[in-house]
Amino acid sequence: MKKINLPLILDTVFAALCAFLLFFTAIRYYTRSAGIALAFAIVACLLFGALSFLYISRKQNKKLLLSRDEKNKKLLSLHLSLSSDEYISDLFAKALTCADEAAEIKGGKIFTDDCAYFFNFRMQALSEDDIAKVIKYDCDKKKIIYCSRTSIEAAALAENFLIEIKQIDAAYSLLKEKDLLPEKYVYEGAKKISVWKRVKARFTRKLSAPLFWSGAGLLFLSYFTFFPIYYIVIGGIMLILSAVALVIN
């Protein structure tokens, strides 16, 4: 059973409601006909509701994919930092082996026909001392280091000695391409986010609610005042800003 996307539904209904109130009040003021205003308001409600739904759902899907990848990259970095050298060597040997080029493991390093791969997955960034160890290693092949992240100084030193550094983004892309990402990461899901925190994080857009009630109040007052155009314009702007603040965020 597919999970109901309640935030998407609520945001869509909110945007549609803002459009309905704005169009009904404005058109009723100019035409003096509640029927015509209601017809236009319903059309506007459906149109803006559909547009908001498409925009928000597309943005949510894109954000979800990005957030999943970023989360998995962090999990992979921790996973590799806590894994043994043998595990890392075996994993990347499979990833770096292709049809016409075999990967050979020697002392925690991997050698192919053209390259020598070094692995330094730690919680700390790659340092100049780590680069110095690779520099001192006697090898005629192109040297490539896989790590979680690197410091600016280490990157500069590696560049001077023609050593290529591949950080966790490259490691994640390689393993994902070869379908070798771990099925379960170390300590994955150890810390669960409570339902209350999820709900609280979703409804912290403080700008939206005050604008909505202020805008709706001004539109309501436009039915009783001698200068309704001011209330309609200002109230409409507030409703638009309220919907935009909710949809964009």
State yes or no: pLDDT of 241 exceeds 90: no
- In this prediction, residue 145 has a pLDDT band, given cuts at 50, 70 and 90, of very high
Give the whole-number percent of the chain exceeding pLDDT 90: 24
The 10s digit of each residue's pLDDT in 149-190 is 999 999 999 999 999 999 999 999 899 888 888 877 766 554
In sequence order, the 6+-apart residues with CB closer than 8 A to the CB of 202 are: 7
* pLDDT given for residue 19 in this prediction: 86
Name which residue leads in pLDDT, 226 or 72. Answer: 72
Question: Encoding tokens for residue 65?
Answer: 């994919």
Please name each of the domains of the chain with its CATH number: 6-80+193-248 (no CATH), 83-177 (3.40.1350)
* pLDDT given for residue 65 in this prediction: 60
* pLDDT given for residue 3 in this prediction: 64
State the helix-helix crossing angle for 34-81 and 228-248, rounded to 10 degrees. Answer: 20
Name which residue leads in pLDDT, 211 or 148. Answer: 148
> Count of residues for the chain?
249
State yes or no: pLDDT of 56 exceeds 70: yes
Least confident of 11-15, 34-38, 209-213: 209-213
What's the predicted TM-score (pTM) here? Answer: 0.52
State yes or no: pLDDT of 143 exceeds 90: yes
Instruction: Yes or no: say if 163 and 130 are a contact pair by the CB < 8 Å rule.
Output: no
* pLDDT given for residue 199 in this prediction: 43
Question: Encoding tokens for residue 248?
Answer: 């964009």
* pLDDT given for residue 2 in this prediction: 56
Which whole-number Å values give the CA distances from 18 to 46, 69, 165, 223, 232, in the listed order?
11, 35, 52, 17, 13
What value does the mean pLDDT of the chain take? 81
As a whole number of angstroms, the distance between CA 238 and CA 249 comes to: 17
State yes or no: pLDDT of 49 exceeds 80: yes
The 10s digit of each residue's pLDDT in 90-137 is 999 888 887 556 778 888 899 988 899 999 999 899 999 999 999 999
The b/e string for 67-77 (b: 16+ C-beta within 10 A; e otherwise) is eeeeebbebbb
Tell me 119's DSSP state.
E
* pLDDT given for residue 34 in this prediction: 84
